[in-house]
Structures are given as structure tokens and as C-alpha cells.
Structure 1
Amino acid sequence: MAEESFNADEMTPPEWLNVQFIGQVLSDHEKDSNLKVTNLSFTPASAKGDHYASIMFRATVEYTTQNGNCTKSLIIKTMPVEEGVKKDMFKDSPLFTTEIGMYSKVLPEWERILRTVKDPSKLYVNCIYHSLQPHQIIIFDDLVEMGYAVVRDRFLTQEEICSAYAKLAKIHAISMKFIHEQPEYLREFKNGLCDMPGLIDSPIISGGMAPFTELLGRIPELNKYQPYFEKISLHFKDRLRATMHEYRNHPQPGYNVLCHADYHSRNMMFKHNRETGCLEDCMLLDYQGCNVAPMAVDLMYSIYMLMGPAQRRDELETLLNYYLSVLQETLKKIGYQGSMPTPQGFWAEMKRHRYYEFLLLSTFLPISNGLRVHKLDLADMLHNEEARMKLYQLEDFVEETKSVLARFEKSGYFEDL
């Protein structure tokens, strides 16, 4: 991969990430006080657009132990060192605290519960070290070494999406059991999209509604939707906050779960058989934004950030109904005693939280399309207004907008705004 395909802040690791630090981490992990690192090298662990809220390195470590010479590949996630937009936006956020809680507390317990019902699903990669002081850092085993890869050069297949939905459904199902029986267990997972400092008023959230509404006025076929979005634009951020904070502030009858909250195609890796090409597993990544919220938050996000255009057009109901079937099956297996989700209730929930989907169409889909189809730079799209405006001129986005708005209209999304 060419150097320009990497994030600039991942080309050089911070000075403290050195032989002594890695040596101590491995010595503690392997319980070998004689362990000695003999060689250490770093490369970026992700490509541009894979993530935004942290920086990641792949460390290749050669070391000696009481059992001989070893080589290990590690994935290291930490915060940017240099001042900049990314560091300023996320420096006071709870992202690392949340992710450490997921890897050290929640996911191991969720897997234990699955094992009791003879479900072998693996929900997370092994985390060998984490700390918040003096540096925010998490170190994982390298999934690439185990045959997993991020899908970059194409949209996911239906089989791959179903595999990812199955993992999400199992995480959601167990969280529903805990919310019903032990709600205090997940009380710390309360920081969602609207709780990131400054994010709600940043271009990531605020920058799309105006150009999208202008687009509707520019395309005759879409003119009829412009008055709806002029009305939506007046209150969409308040409605977004209400959705994200509903469980915490005003619990409603509905389907609340521990959401992943950034459930997109580059936050998962897939393992295919090297000989046959058959899909063997999907591993979800990046649990930094997990919080208890309506399940519609994850599922609506996945429509725009996980599915491709053809799937949004032709397979949306099939894929989401598959998620629901795994959710229901898992709830039954683990002995959930609450009200069982139904197809009617599920789609009613999606409609109830439609303001979030209005945001995703107007603001997230243009960026996702620019990133995944046109290979544009994520930071440029987020922080360069001129670059962002061009996203609304792209013909494929205009055609997608026609399709999605027709679905909204058919589903009654514009009723009683």
C-alpha cells in the first residue's frame, strides 16, 4: 500500500512507544521477567478512512524468552500526539474508557453466556494490555496474522453482511437480557454520539442538512420532498439528542440495547478460507462508542455505512429481517424473560426514530459514498466545506437519494413531522 494511503499521524509512533514499553507489556502478559525485545518496528495499522478518533500502529516484535526466540505482531491503538482537529475533538472524550470497559468487562461476559448455550461465536479479539494513564492505549493481537482482513476494494456480499449482523444481534440480545435483569451492569455505557465534545455542532453533524435541502430544490423529481426537510432541519439535532439520550433520560417502551454506535464496514474484519474463498468468520472491531440506546441507532447506521447501493435498494428488508431472526433466536436461547421483539414492533421502532435516518441520508451517506465509491479523503470531506459541497453534485448520490426518499415516503416517514 502506498504511503499516501495511510493517515499522516500514523507514519511515526510517539517516542514513549519504544522497546522498553513493549518489552514490559509482553513480559507482564507472558509472565516472563526474563523476556527481552531484540527488535521492534512499526507500520501504520490502517488505511485512510478506516477510522477517525484514534491512531493505530502495527508493531512487529522480535524477542527472547526462557523458551527461545519469538516473533509477534501487535495492533496498538492510542491518541494522536500532535495538535490538530482530531486531537482537539476527541482529547476529552470517553472513547478509551468505553472501549477498555467493553474488552475487559462486557465482551468476555457476553462470550461466557454464549458458551453456556453452546454458541461458539467469538465477539472480540484478544486484548493484551490497556491503560488510561499516562497514555491512553490499548494493545491487541493482530487479526491479520490469523487470516482476517478488512474489505476495502468492494462492497460486502450478502453473506458477509449477514455474518456481521449475526454478531451484532448476539451482542444486542445479551444486552437486552442485562437491561431487563441487571440494568446497573451497563450503566457506565452512556456516552454516545451526542456526548462527544463539540461533535453535535461540528460539520460531521451540522454540515449536511443545508446542501441536501438545496439538492432537493435543484432536482425536479425531488422538489416535493424539500418542504419536509426544511421542517426537519429546524429540529433534527434536538431530535437526534432525544433519540441518543432516550434510555437515559426518558425511557420509552421499545427495544433498547448496548449499541456498537459505529457499525460500519471498516470496523469489522472477515476471514475467508485461503483455498476455497468461503467465508469463515467476521470479527467486529472498535467498541469505542458503545452505549445503551435504541437498537434502531445501530441498524439505521448500518443501512448507510455497511450496505452497498444495491443492497439498500433491493435487500434492505431481507438483511434486517435476518438480524431480527438471530436476535429472537438468541434471546430464546439465553432465557430472556422480557417482551420478545416482533417484526411489527421492530419496524415501528425504525419509523419512530426516523429523524436519525434523516441525518444519515443527508449527511453521512454523501461522505460514505465519497469514501467508498470515489475514494475521496475523509478529513477533507469533514473539514473542507468546498469538498463537502461537491458530494451533493455526484450523480450516484442523487440517484440513491431518489430511491431512499421513495422508501421513506412509502414507510410513512413524512407523516406527522
Structure 2
Amino acid sequence: MPATENFNDDELVAPKWLNNDFLKEVIQSYEKNKDVKVTNFKLTPGTVKGDHFASVMFRAHVDYKLRHSRYSKSVIIKTMPEAQGLKKEMLENSHIFETEIKMYTEILPKLESVLRSIGDDTKIGPNCLYYSLQPRKCIVLEDLVPLGYTVQRDRDLKMDEIKEVMRKLAVFHAISYYLNKKEPQIFDSLQYGFMNDPSIAENSFLTDGIKIFIEVLNEVPTLRKYKPYFQVFQKDVFQKCGQSFNEFRENPQSNGIYGLCHGDFHFKNLMFRNNPINKKLEDILFLDFQISYLGPIVNDLYYSLFMMCSREQRLHHFDELLYLYHSHFKSILNKTDFDGEVPTLREIRAMFLKHKHYELFLLSSFLAMRYEFLSKDIDIEKIMRSRESRKSLYMNKEFLDELHQLLPKYLHNGYFEDLM
């Protein structure tokens, strides 16, 4: 396997179990036939450094024989980290693989089945070919690259792309909102996002962000006046965010708008397919459903605001994008036999203030890292290990410039009123 700095260290050497016998089992599952002989395979890292954190990924190109004919198949293998270190420590007791297996094998097919019943051919994510929890946790997905899909790494999304992202998110939310009214039991096990999964929520990476943010507010004279608000905010931010993530299970509200949240909705968790001739966008698929959960859909909208949108889109076009999102959300529900009240745009917007602690958490803990996402040298593990490396992101001039625009807006919109 290639030893290069462009890949994560734990994806340069495949584990011993990722061998001919394992790949034979995968292809047998894919072909639904035991008469499979793997003739050759090649393993490479599944993606480049900076694209993901919560798994170890390999790409396998497999040549095999079936019924005297020869075939080949490229697959993506996601598994838990085996090497000791931060990644294993953070993830080994989490629910991420159980959640993602449930999503790929049961929930996404169910959502797409409902969509087909109303004449909508939207596909949400890649096909799952194989999975296991014992003797090891792994998921094998169809490789989308041979199908013409790519990850967008070197630029922000254009408006036509972000509009299609928001359309598909609306479809994802609307059908899950519908199913939660009709068959809520199918979501019973989907309850752990990163703010209420103890093995993740208690990790220093999540808890230290607000501390660094307050330090930066103190060190930048023109931002220092906001420090007292965030010092108070810091005291119960994790409790409040946990309550938001647990709200549907523990304290459902009559005016709550609950659906399936992707949970980690940033642009590197998407793959895009463009027409090879005219380059027009044809499709987008969602990836990485490891922290998907049933909760307030506004939490995904927050995440898309900070981690999906560009600065320009965030500051000047999010109202337009939210209007577009709601239009599709409403349109999808109106095509089903849903007989309840369709949430209005005004009601969705009201959720932003109600669940503001999560929005302010993302602002203070994640937005600085979003500015680093386009860097070819991004090292997520280094940022998570080193407080100094992480704090350097907070001193990014563009990030500080945006804070000078966002913080007055939060002040004027009443976000800080009950924090003092």
C-alpha cells in the first residue's frame, strides 16, 4: 500500500483480516451466491487525509470468478481503529457502527421506498454490500468513484450545489418526519448523536472548544465585550445541547419538529456526480451516517449553516437556502398521505432560537475548523491532539472577521438575553 503523507497513518497498512477470505465473503454477499472465487485484489487507503475521522477506511479492487465468468468490483471498507491512540479511545465504546449499519441496511432503504411510492427517484446514499459487528465492526459500501462521483475538497460549494444539498436534506428530513408519525418504532435505536453519546460528548475535543473560544475573545480587544456572555454560556452548554439531542426521547414537545438528523452534515460527507460533457451537476449522495439520530431537525440546519455553507452563503444567502429547504420539505410531505400539520417556515425558524445553545456551541467550537477544511495539509488528528494547533485555527483572520459580523447579530437577535 502507498506510504504517503496524503493518507492517514492508520490506513497505510491494512489489518491482517482484510484478506482473500474476507473479500470472498463480501463478494458472496454482494452476488448472493456462494460460488465465488477471488482471483486477485488490491488494497489502498479509502480516501485522503482530512476527509474523515470516525473510522478507518480502505478501498479494495477485487477481481473474481463466478459461473466461469470474470468480474471486478471496487468497494469501500469502513472499520474501527485498531491502533491504540486518540481515535480508538474516543470511538471504541461509541454506538457509531451500530448506528451506521442500521442506517444503511434498514433506514435508507425504507426512506427510498416511501419516495418511490410517491414517484420520487431521489437516492440518498451508497449501497451497503456487507456488514458485521462480530468478530469486528465493519461496513462495506459500493465504491462511488467508478460511478462518476467525487468528493469536493479544494473549494467551497457553489450556489447551485448547495441548493441541491438543501433540497436533498429537505427530502431526507421530510420522509423521516412522515415515518416518525407513522412508524416511530423503526427509529428506536437511533438516539445517539455526538452531544449525547457519552464516549464522544465527554471527549476533550468537544469540551475544550468553548474554553479556547473564550480565550480568543479575551485576547482580541474588539471581541472582548462578548466574553461575559460565553463565560455564562459555558456553564451549561453541554447539558443544554444534550437535552436538545435527547428531547424527542425524554421530553417531546407539542411544537417539536422531529426527524432524522444526519448529525455530521458537512461538505466532505457528500459525493457529487457531474455530467462528464457539460459538467452540469447530476446528483449528490450523503455519506457517513455514524451519528445519525432522531431529534430536532433544526440541529442539522445549524450544522449545514456552519459546516456546509461558505462564509458568503452563511452571511448573505442562508435565509434564501432555508426558504428553499422548507419549500421542498413541504412539497414532499404534501405528496404523501400525511394527514398532520405540515410545519411552517416560521415554526422552523422559531426552533433556531429555542435550540440556540447548539448553534452557539457550533459557532464557538467547530466554525474555526471549517476554515481549515479546504487546506490540503489539514490534519484532523493533530488538531484533536494538540490544543496549540487547534487554537491557531481560532486566530485565522477570516474567522475573526466573521466573528465581528456574527456576534453583533446574535446580540441584536436576543441570543444572549437569558445568559446573564
Q: What is aligned with 1:113?
A: 114
Tell me the amino acid that sits aligned with residue 380 of structure 1: K
Q: How do residues 121-140 of structure 1 correspond to structure 2 at under 5 angstroms?
A: 121-140=122-141
Counterpart selection for 2:390 from 388, 391, 394 = 388
Q: How far does residue 250 in structure 1 lie from its aligned partner after superposition? A: 0.9
Alignment match, 2:324: 322
Q: Following the alignment from structure 1 to structure 2, what is the Cα–Cα distance between the partners of residues 403 and 374?
A: 27
For 1:2-47, what per-residue CA distance to the aligned partner results, in whole angstroms no more than 9, with x for missing partners? Answer: 8211111011111011011111221232133332111111001111
Tell me the equivalent position of 1:274. Answer: 276
Which one is further off, 175-184 or 194-203?
194-203
Is 1:311 aligned with 2:329?
no
Residues 1:350 and 2:349 aligned together: no
Which 5+ residue runs of structure 1 have no aligned equivalent? none
**What secondary structure does 1:153 align onto?**
coil
Q: Which amino acid aligns with 2:355?
A: H
Q: Deviations over 1:58-97 (max 9, x none)?
A: 1011111115111111111111121211112111211111
Shift of residue 373, structure 1, vs aligned partner: 4.6
Aligned residue number for residue 81 of structure 1: 82
Matched, 1:183 2:184: yes
Give the C-alpha shift of residue 173 in structure 1. Answer: 0.8
Between the aligned partners of 2:10 and 2:376, the Cα distance in structure 1 is 23
Distance 1:5 1:390 in 2: 22
Q: Structure 2: how far apart are the matches of 1:2 and 1:272?
A: 31
Maintained 8 Å contact 1:164/1:284 = no
Partner Cα distance (1:214, 1:124) in 2: 40
* Contact persistence 1:37–1:63 (CA under 8 A): yes
Q: Which amino acid aligns with 2:337?
A: G
What is the percent sequence identity of the aligned residues?
Answer: 38
Residue in 1 aligned with 2:262?
260
Question: Counterparts of 1:344 and 1:373 in 2: how far apart (Å)?
Answer: 37
Matching residue of 1:404: 406
> Match of 1:370, SS?
coil
Q: What's the TM-score once normalised by structure 1's chain length?
A: 0.96
Question: Would you say the 8 A contact 1:34–1:65 is kept in 2?
Answer: yes
After the TM superposition, which parts of structure 1 deviate over 4 Å for at least 4 consecutive aligned residues?
none
Cα distance change on mapping 1:170 and 1:90 into 2, 3 Å: same
**Where in structure 2 are the equivalents of 1:282-293 lying within 5 Å?**
282-293=284-295
Aligned-residue Cα RMSD (Å) equals 1.6
Aligned to 1:218: 219
Task: Specify which of 332, 336, 339 is matched with residue 338 of structure 2.
Answer: 336
- CA deviation vs aligned residue, 1:340-379 (integer Å, no higher than 9, x gap): 1112111110111111111111110112222335743111
Q: Tell me how far apart the structure 1 counterparts of residues 3 and 409 of structure 2 sit (CA, whole Å).
A: 40
Counting only pairs closer than 5 Å after superposition, residues 186-197 of structure 1 correspond to structure 2 as 186-197=187-198
Aligned CA distance change for structure 1 residues 67 and 278 (closer, same or farther; 3 Å): farther
Q: 1:244-296 CA deviation, whole Å, 9 max, x = no partner?
A: 11111111122111110011111110000111110000000111111111111
Q: Deviations over 1:100-137 (max 9, x none)?
A: 11111111111111111110101121111111111111
The amino acid of 1:174's aligned partner reads I
* Larger deviation, residues 268-277 vs 88-97: 88-97
> Secondary structure, in 3 states, of the residue corresponding to 1:188?
coil
Q: For residues 78 and 406 of structure 1, do their structure 2 counterparts lie closer, same or farther at Cα, with a shift above 3 Å needed?
A: same
State the 1:198 CA deviation: 3.3
Aligned to 2:234: 233
What TM-score do you get using the length of structure 2 for normalisation?
Answer: 0.95
- Match of residue 247 from structure 2: 246
The answer to which of 327-336 and 401-410 deviates more is 401-410
Matched residue SS, 2:391: helix
